[in-house]
Amino acid sequence: MGLFSRKTRPSPVEAAPAATSSTLDAIADLARGFGRHAFDLPNETAEKLERRMEDWAKRVVRPDEDGAVEELKLVILRRRQAEKKYVPKALKELKGALMEALASLSEAVGEDVETADRLLTRLSELANAVDTDDLTQLQNRVRSTVEDLSKELERSRQRAERRMVQMGEHVEVLQADLVKAKKKSATDSLTGLYNRSAFDQDFDRISRLIPLTNQPLSVVMVDIDHFKQVNDTYGHPAGDIVIRNTADELVRAYPRKSDYVARYGGEEFVVILRDANLDDALKMTERLLDAIRSTPVDCDGTMVEVTCSAGVAQVRRGESTKALLARADAMLYRAKRNGRDRVVVDR
């Protein structure tokens, strides 16, 4: 057991009173040495024992101190008895703690195939050392294993960090793809405007904010006049050009960030104008119709004149989005019945 197995054999105390000076000096040195090699026990610290041993060493060399050597003998014997009880108990507890740590570490590192083989080999060596009673071997093996574990776990941590960075980059790419996919699913492929599905969702969300903002909100329905004749006369590619041109004019006519322009279906468009009353909506829509009317569309060298009709309605207190759209749509068809190329407002 190394240090703990040292057996101190004090000189016979019966001869202490008649002992020579050299013998007493030897006993004094023994006491000092015993104190210096002591370790903490539950009821006695090494520092306290060293002070006691130094005190007794001084007393031993004084001939007038009867019984000093006998007292020293009793202290040493009691100390050795305490060591015999404490050291095996402490060693057993240390072994138990190490075995628990080994089990936990084995389970943890076993999940990382890159470090498992090396670490499990070292842990197995440590487990073998725990099975012995050689404290020196155990101490050396613990120190070596802790150093190796620290290095391997640091390398494992660095690999995990790299994987997390890679995962983060992958997630960012997926998020960007998701945004693109979401935007694509909400966008009309021909015009680049919002499509009908996106409009239905967003208009419902916007309408729920109306009571909170206490601001006017108007809806404009726009339809290309005689669009079927454009397709029949110039072909569907020309019809697509007319639709794209009309979409561009809509974006220019309603330029505010809060203005929402969507292709409602076929040749029909819808616009949500937040913070705009009927007069505001009428002015913007008249500018739109003027721009479309005055700018023929170039369809592969053929200039096609285009006009649009529009209907405008402003939301009423407590009105549903369905009812508001129905009123704007009714104004649109009134404009068509009244000769097209005009805007009608529901006042």
Task: List the one residue out of 261, 262, 223 whose CA is nearest residue 242.
Answer: 223
Neighbours of 122 (CB within 10 A): 19
Q: Which amino acid is at 194?
A: Y
* Residues 334/337/338/341 CA torsion (nearest 10 deg): 90
Adjacent-strand bridge partners of 307: none
> Residue 159 phi/psi, 5° resolution?
-65, -40
Adjacent-strand bridge partners of 345: 312
Residues labelled catalytic: 267
Tokens of 207: 């309408």
3-state secondary structure of 121: helix
Task: List the one residue out of 347, 337, 320, 324 whose CA is nearest residue 221.
Answer: 324
Please, how many CA atoms are within 13 Å of residue 147, restricted to the half-sphere of its CB? Answer: 6
Measure the CA–CA gap between 186 and 204, rounded to whole angstroms.
Answer: 15
Intra-chain end-to-end CA distance of the chain, in Å: 104
Cβ–Cβ under 8 Å, residues 50 and 36: yes
> Residue 45 phi/psi, 5° resolution?
-85, 160
